[in-house]
Structure 1
Amino acid sequence: MEAATLRRRVQILSESGLSQLPPEYIQPPDLRPSPPAFSGGIPVVDLDPSGDPLPEIRRSCLDWGAFYVANHGVPLRLLEEIKAAGLAFFQSPMDSKLRFACDPNSAASEGYGSRMLSKEDGVLDWRDYFDHHTLPESRRNPGRWPDFIPNYRDVVVEYSNKMKELAQNLLNMISKSLNLPPSYIEEAVGEVHQNITISYYSPCPQPDLALGLQAHSDMGAITLLIQDEVGGLEVLKDGEWVAVQPLSDAIVVILADQAEIISNGEYRSAQHRAIVNANHARLSVATFYDPPKTRKISPALQLVNKQRPLKYHEVLYGDYVSSWYSKGPEGKRNIDALLIEEKSS
């Protein structure tokens, strides 16, 4: 492993005892974190079968684009096991971790890395990660995942399968909340491509200058996320950042850009970011539920009318992914590029 590649590991920088942030991690003044204006957190939707979650799901998708789900059907011990497996990996010796390093020349390769985007001139996130390609099963190769942590591979497979079930259930309910057939969004997405990314945010010497993950909306259909008790996830609502307080028994649901397109803009994908702190490492696990790159995504025609005209151009998902990785997310500029200009009357 080249020394330059090794230096890009945030955990190595953090553990070296540096007192000042390297310049490539310093965010521009207007993007630096500040105390959230509101810390009440995102809505919590109870999926208990005895109730009707659809009204709360609709409200949450309209107002936030993000919400917690409780009584989600995923075993709580599995949520703890996937976090423990990830923490064990990042606490392992560097030579063991580097055996599973990402391809440094590919922006979206599987494995252990730090740099997500392909452009070289952007500010870097204060984060290391391990990305797993988990669905469809033809992409799933546990041989590319750590073999030195007991049960790691089995836990990732079980977690992948449970997250698929939950994502399908949620997409069905989101479809119904839009008065679409229950399977509409799932069929529009096609054969799901699922990635599971475990992120590790090391203590940062100047957390007021850096971000663990820059502000962005996710590119796919839906994201399911859990975080440890340290917290650090923030969601943008009405121009203000809201801290998402950790709930150990709940899962964060984040609407992504393709869901916004399918809803013809009725629901908004959630812009979110991760902040860091000086004293504690933080760990999160994000499960991305995305279309295949060959899939074309367009608004549901049932949601197009005089009151809500067609809002987005159709897009080939592979082109959308290429734009996201090459230009960088920068909030929601990638989905905004698909907006159809309104004709003046």
Structure 2
Amino acid sequence: MAHSPRIQPFVDSGLDLIPPQYIQLPEHRAAAFRRDAPPPIGVPVIDLDRQSGNPIPDLRRACRDWGAFQVINHGVPLRLLEEIKRVGLAFFQSPTEVKLRYLCDPGSAASEGYGSKMLSKDDGVLDWRDYFDHHTLPESRRNPSRWPDYPENYREVVAEYSNSMKVLAQKLLSMISISLGLVPSYIEDVIGEAYQNITISYYPPCPQPELALGLQVHSDIGAISLLIQDDVGGLEVLKDGEWVLVQPLSDAIIVLLADQTEIVTNGEYTSAQHRALVNGKQARLSVATFYDPSKTRRISPAAELITDHSPQKYRGVVYGDYLSSWYGKGPEGKQNLDALLINQ
């Protein structure tokens, strides 16, 4: 994989025009999807506090119709949400020579560390973002010495955040299983020993935001993704052919169903296609936690969800093979999931 440049040095140099490798095809640019009026509804917000009522029906509708929702009263300390954003921003605002100590391995897709290019193919348009990816679970993968030591509590914050996100991911997967009439542990059992990565993404101001994307259109590849963003905003979710901006809520965590959950639910629930916009004035920061199967797990539709009225929709797949396909071919919407359809 070719070593790709980081975005921040471009911006710091006073760049007026973005390099050609960041220019999206016209049909992929944000303006190609814009409507004069905003959509009438926003991404659902679900209160997980059972004293406010049973969240399962709302969860079921959101998983079926959107594949994305925000949760409040989720049990993660709000202090921790602010702290992970604070230490992440401090890292990206640190001197270049500090950041370069933690460079990703340029020869390996999705290696841990400071990077910019995620995919292994060399002919695609690049995203307008820099990131730091942390391998956090299983704990045998967790090596804080590979993470920044500035600010001084960076490593402790990431570890605490990892543990809190694990608890929330397990809670949500249990609720999703229940909402389908499955035993609470069903999806967690399919996943096996979960692999968790935490990616802090930094989207610098872009001199030509109408030409670029912070993240191209894709659905996530694992089981479930949990994301927080700062108040700048920029995350959009695709709903019925329209792009819907996810409004920043300081006390909320965004939940995105990923491809393996769509497979397990036999398409009853959908993985969310999403993208990140950039703007010309403000930098944006987000923190994504990916909760995924181990590479050796075989993922197939739940037998309990296959009926005469709902025949099996997807072939089973070993997750490691799915992962290799995604990083090799690129996302291109949901092409990797579509390749598993039985009736194409």
TM-score category, normalised to shorter length: over 0.9
CA distance in 2: counterparts of 1:117 and 1:83, whole angstroms = 25
CA contact (8 A) 1:18 1:205 kept: yes
Please give the residue correspondences for 1:234-249 in structure 2 after superposition, counting only pairs within 5 Å. Answer: 234-249=236-251
CA contact (8 A) 1:200 1:283 kept: yes
CA distance in 1: counterparts of 2:154 and 2:243, whole angstroms = 35
- Are 1:340 and 2:337 an aligned pair? no
Q: Helix, strand or coil: the match of 1:159?
A: helix
Alignment counterpart, residue 182 of structure 2, candidates 180, 183, 189 = 180
- 1:148 deviation in Å? 2.6
- Are 1:24 and 2:21 an aligned pair? yes
Counterpart for residue 309 of structure 1: 311
In structure 2, the CA distance between the partners of 1:39 and 1:83, relative to structure 1 (3 Å rule), is farther
Counterpart for residue 45 of structure 1: 46
Counterpart for residue 166 of structure 1: 168
Please give the residue correspondences for 1:213-252 in structure 2 after superposition, counting only pairs within 5 Å. Answer: 213-252=215-254
Deviations, residues 109-154 of structure 1 (Å, cap 9, x unaligned): 0000000000000000000000000000000000000013110000
CA distance in 1: counterparts of 2:301 and 2:65, whole angstroms = 20
CA distance in 2: counterparts of 1:25 and 1:147, whole angstroms = 31
Q: Helix, strand or coil: the match of 1:267?
A: coil
Counterpart for residue 256 of structure 1: 258
Aligned length, in residue pairs: 338
Counterpart for residue 276 of structure 2: 274
- 1:11 deviation in Å? 0.8
- 1:39 deviation in Å? 7.0
CA distance in 2: counterparts of 1:319 and 1:197, whole angstroms = 22
Residue identity over aligned pairs, in percent, reads 71
Please give the residue correspondences for 1:133-172 in structure 2 after superposition, counting only pairs within 5 Å. Answer: 133-172=135-174
Please give the residue correspondences for 1:313-324 in structure 2 after superposition, counting only pairs within 5 Å. Answer: 313-324=315-326
* Letter paired with 1:175: S
- 1:14 deviation in Å? 1.4
Deviations, residues 39-72 of structure 1 (Å, cap 9, x unaligned): 7420000000222100000000011000000000
* Letter paired with 2:222: G
- 1:38 deviation in Å? 2.0
CA distance in 2: counterparts of 1:266 and 1:207, whole angstroms = 36
RMSD: 1.1
TM-score calculated relative to the size of structure 2: 0.97
Please give the residue correspondences for 1:91-106 in structure 2 after superposition, counting only pairs within 5 Å. Answer: 91-106=93-108
Q: Helix, strand or coil: the match of 1:173?
A: helix
CA distance in 1: counterparts of 2:106 and 2:265, whole angstroms = 36
Please give the residue correspondences for 1:278-293 in structure 2 after superposition, counting only pairs within 5 Å. Answer: 278-293=280-295
CA distance in 2: counterparts of 1:13 and 1:297, whole angstroms = 42
CA distance in 1: counterparts of 2:301 and 2:124, whole angstroms = 32
Q: Helix, strand or coil: the match of 2:173?
A: helix
Structure 2 gap segments, 5+ residues each: none
Q: Helix, strand or coil: the match of 2:268?
A: coil
Alignment counterpart, residue 11 of structure 1, candidates 8, 17, 22 = 8
Q: Helix, strand or coil: the match of 2:131?
A: strand
Deviations, residues 187-241 of structure 1 (Å, cap 9, x unaligned): 0111000000000000001000100000000000000000000000000000010
Deviations, residues 257-306 of structure 1 (Å, cap 9, x unaligned): 00000000000000000000000000000000000001100000000001
CA distance in 2: counterparts of 1:16 and 1:201, whole angstroms = 16
CA contact (8 A) 1:191 1:292 kept: yes
Q: Helix, strand or coil: the match of 2:91?
A: helix
Counterpart for residue 75 of structure 1: 77
TM-score calculated relative to the size of structure 1: 0.96
Structure 1 gap segments, 5+ residues each: none
CA distance in 1: counterparts of 2:19 and 2:254, whole angstroms = 32
CA distance in 2: counterparts of 1:10 and 1:274, whole angstroms = 15
Moved more, 131-140 or 12-21: 12-21
Deviations, residues 14-53 of structure 1 (Å, cap 9, x unaligned): 1111111111000000000124642742000000022210
* Letter paired with 1:281: A
CA distance in 2: counterparts of 1:28 and 1:92, whole angstroms = 33
CA contact (8 A) 1:223 1:286 kept: yes
CA distance in 2: counterparts of 1:38 and 1:32, whole angstroms = 18
CA distance in 1: counterparts of 2:329 and 2:10, whole angstroms = 26
Q: Helix, strand or coil: the match of 1:322?
A: helix
CA contact (8 A) 1:39 1:244 kept: no
Counterpart for residue 33 of structure 1: 30
CA distance in 2: counterparts of 1:246 and 1:142, whole angstroms = 29
CA distance in 1: counterparts of 2:304 and 2:24, whole angstroms = 42
* Letter paired with 1:111: G
